[in-house]
């Protein structure tokens, strides 16, 4: 298989795996919301936030390092995996104890305590799976990553829906997470032994020491980013109620699904950003402005649409109990606009070898999010949680823009952005006029109106479409 075809195959497999996982997760959340209500949704969101925080610490952010080192020398797969797995098991076991201990010290309910025990088992199993997935990626066999994730997501979704419909709660649902992760780990292990490499488990202190030395750099961005997105839920668990967390998390799940699209877009533009950086600053600047333009084309109309249709969207997806979070949803959706910009700018910072600046900005904004979250949530509840996250993202974006303007180039995106805002306002007007019809039909007609306005106002043309297709091919 040629290198180009291999890149297409592996990137496509990774994107499909992510779509499968996120889609299954979103459907499961809908069933949690409709069967357990806002309180059950709040407990579910809290235990997942704790899981992601502690797992990110346990995995130590070494997946990119393992991919890089094994891709350079596949004959080192056994020795690198053996030592990384040993460190990961030790770290994940420690973090599992810390996770359970945190729920006890925080004086959460018995349901949260028992669920954390199951999720701590999930943490250990999933950390090992992450390492095996890194090996698959390094060996350019990403289809095996997709296979493991498909099994895991399928079991989790099917069994999760069954136990929810049968009237079981969070504790049994958490056991399903552990079961599905165990099945995924068994499948990943079998595929690795059969199709990648069968190697003895061998520990070497110099390799362990080298891995531990590399951990701070690779773990820093992952940990600060994970804490940034999930610390608000932890703060809400002590400053508000589980019902409030449930209302906040339901609408945030919709935002998270759109974040997936933006993350996939980042994957596509990253290699092209590297190429244009080595061509010229002019090409680098032009591609950055184009990339931001396409982010605005996606996110600005979503923001406008949610301003008009937030109640109908929440009612359709989660049910009448969650319509109360409509105003929170209107704030959360603007996080997407800033988030899309920060992803693009982060790609260009890394492409220009300014990854340490990216780490510094992540660290600063994590602290800001914790401080603002505590102050705002204490005073305004879940409204404060949404505002603190939005303001922290604004600070994040401002720091990136300031650095790029001073050290790289000056961006010029005002003209196209104003036209996109105009097209989005036109779309929002149509959505408001059609607010009495079914939400799905309304969204379809409003989106069609927006697409027409994009071409009518000269924001998009056939050349833009061809450029996006070429970008996708190059990025893949």
180 and 45 belong to one structural domain:
yes
475 and 364 within one domain: yes
Candidate from 42-46, 110-114, 228-232, 405-409 with smallest mean pLDDT: 405-409
92 occurs within a structural domain: yes
Q: Describe the crossing of helices 281-318 and 439-456 by its angle, rounded to 10 degrees.
A: 160
Is position 57 within any domain? Answer: yes
Lowest mean pLDDT among 171-175, 194-198, 243-247: 194-198
The residue to which tokens 């994970």 are assigned: 226
What percent of the chain stands above pLDDT 70? 90
Q: Is residue 235 part of a domain?
A: no
Q: Are residues 177 and 263 in the same domain?
A: no
Q: For residues 391 and 439, state if they share a domain.
A: yes
Q: Residue 428: its pLDDT value, please?
A: 95
Number of domains in the chain: 2
pLDDT value, residue 461: 62
173 is in which domain, residue-wise? 1-219
Question: Is the same domain home to 288 and 203?
Answer: no
Residue showing tokens 């995924």: 184
Instruction: Indicate if 128 and 65 belong to the same structural domain.
Output: yes
The answer as to whether 224 is a domain residue is no
Q: What are phi and psi of 175, to 5 degrees?
A: -65, -30
Last residue of a domain, one of 158, 187, 219: 219
Mean pLDDT of all residues in 416-426: 91
Among 123-127, 191-195, 220-224, 357-361, the range of highest mean pLDDT: 123-127
What pLDDT was estimated at residue 1? 45
pLDDT digits (tens, 9 = 90+) for 162-181: 999 999 989 999 999 999 99
Closest residue by Cα to residue 51 from 102, 149, 117, 120: 120
- Same domain as 244, residue 184: no
Burial of 470 (0-12, 13-18, 19+ CB in 10 A): exposed
208: buried, middle or exposed (CB in 10 Å: 19+, 13-18, 0-12)? middle
**φ, ψ for residue 73 (rounded to 5)?**
-145, 90
Q: What is the pLDDT of residues 30-64, one digit of tens each?
A: 999 999 999 999 999 999 999 999 988 888 777 76
Residue 232 resides in a domain: no
34 within some domain: yes
Q: 133 is written with which tokens?
A: 């997935």
DSSP-derived secondary structure for 42-57? HHHHHHHHHHHHHHHH
User: What pLDDT does residue 463 have?
Assistant: 61
Cα 382 to Cα 388: distance, rounded to the nearest angstrom: 10
Q: Please give the biggest Cα pair distance in the chain.
A: 68
Q: How far apart are CA 439 and CA 251, in angstroms?
A: 16
In this structure, is residue 225 part of a structural domain? no
Kindly state the tokens that stand for 138.
């390094």
**128 found inside a domain:** yes
Report d(CA 107, CA 278) in Å as an integer: 54
Average pLDDT in the chain: 86
Domain boundary pick from 169, 186, 219:
219
410: helix, strand or coil: coil
Q: How far apart are CA 112 and CA 301, in angstroms?
A: 38
- So what's the pLDDT on residue 452? 92
**What is the average pLDDT across 194-206?**
75
Contacts 24+ apart (CB under 8 A), 159-164: 160/28, 160/31, 161/27, 161/28, 161/31, 164/31, 164/32, 164/35, 164/36
328 and 380 fall within a common domain = yes
Q: Please state, in angstroms and rounded to a whole number, the distance separating the CA atoms of residues 356 and 475.
A: 23
Q: What is the DSSP letter of 195?
A: I
Alpha-carbon distance of 466 to 280, in angstroms, equals 22
- Arithmetic mean of pLDDT, 346-374: 85
Q: Residue 200: which pLDDT band, with cuts at 50, 70 and 90?
A: low
Residue 472 pLDDT > 50: no
Q: Are residues 55 and 179 in the same domain?
A: yes
Look up the pTM and report it: 0.81
Q: Are 349 and 403 in contact (CB under 8 A)?
A: yes
- Angstrom distance (rounded) from CA 275 to CA 475: 10
User: In angstroms, rounded to a whole number, what is the distance separating the alpha carbons of residues 61 and 55?
Assistant: 10
Check whether residue 54 and residue 147 sit in a common domain: yes
Same domain assignment for residues 179 and 255:
no
Q: Report the distance separating Cα 104 and Cα 245, nearest Å.
A: 19
Among 153, 188, 219, residue at a domain's last position:
219
Query: Is the domain of 114 the same as that of 188?
Result: yes
């Amino acid at each position: 298989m040629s290198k180009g075809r291999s890149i297409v195959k592996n990137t496509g497999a990774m994107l499909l795996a992510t779509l499968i996982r996120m889609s299954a997760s979103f459907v499961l959340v809908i069933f949690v919301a409709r069967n357990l209500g806002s309180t059950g949704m709040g407990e579910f969101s809290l235990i997942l936030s704790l899981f992601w925080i502690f797992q990110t610490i346990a995995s130590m952010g070494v997946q990119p390092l393992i991919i890089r080192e094994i891709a350079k020398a596949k004959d080192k797969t056994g020795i690198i995996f053996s030592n990384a797995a040993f460190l990961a098991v030790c770290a994940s076991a420690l973090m599992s104890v810390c996770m359970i201990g945190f729920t006890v010290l925080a004086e959460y309910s018995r349901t949260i305590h028992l669920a954390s025990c199951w999720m701590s088992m999930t943490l250990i199993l999933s950390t090992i799976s992450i390492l095996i997935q890194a090996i698959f990626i390094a060996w350019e066999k990403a289809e095996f990553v997709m296979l493991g994730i498909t099994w895991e997501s399928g079991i989790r979704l099917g069994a999760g829906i069954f136990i929810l419909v049968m009237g079981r709660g969070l504790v049994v649902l958490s056991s399903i997470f552990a079961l599905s992760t165990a099945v995924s780990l068994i499948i990943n292990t079998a595929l690795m032994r059969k199709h990648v490499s069968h190697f003895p488990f061998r520990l070497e202190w110099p390799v362990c020491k080298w891995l531990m030395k590399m951990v701070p750099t690779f773990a820093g961005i992952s940990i600060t980013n994970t804490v940034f997105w999930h610390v608000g839920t932890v703060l809400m668990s002590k400053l508000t109620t589980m019902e409030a967390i449930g209302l906040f998390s339901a609408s945030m799940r919709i935002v998270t699904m759109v974040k997936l699209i933006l993350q996939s877009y980042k994957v596509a533009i990253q290699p092209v950003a590297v190429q244009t950086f080595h061509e010229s600053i002019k090409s680098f600047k032009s591609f950055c402005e184009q990339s931001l333009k396409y982010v605005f084309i996606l996110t600005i109309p979503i923001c406008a649409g949610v301003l008009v249709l937030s109640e109908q969207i929440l009612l359709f997806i989660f049910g009448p109990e969650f319509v109360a979070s409509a105003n929170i949803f209107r704030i959360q959706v603007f996080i997407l606009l800033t988030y899309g910009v920060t992803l693009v700018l982060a790609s260009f910072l890394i492409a220009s070898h300014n990854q340490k600046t990216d780490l510094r900005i992540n660290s600063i904004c994590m602290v800001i999010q914790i401080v603002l979250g505590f102050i705002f949530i204490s005073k305004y509840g879940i409204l404060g949680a949404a505002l603190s996250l939005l303001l922290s993202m604004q600070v994040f974006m401002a720091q990136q823009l300031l650095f790029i303007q001073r050290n790289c180039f000056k961006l010029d995106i005002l003209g196209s952005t104003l036209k996109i805002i105009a097209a989005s306002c036109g779309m929002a007007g149509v959505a408001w006029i059609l607010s009495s019809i079914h939400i799905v039909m309304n969204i379809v007609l409003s989106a069609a109106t927006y697409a027409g306005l994009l071409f009518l106002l000269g924001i998009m043309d056939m050349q833009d479409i061809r450029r996006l297709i070429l970008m996708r091919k190059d990025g893949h």
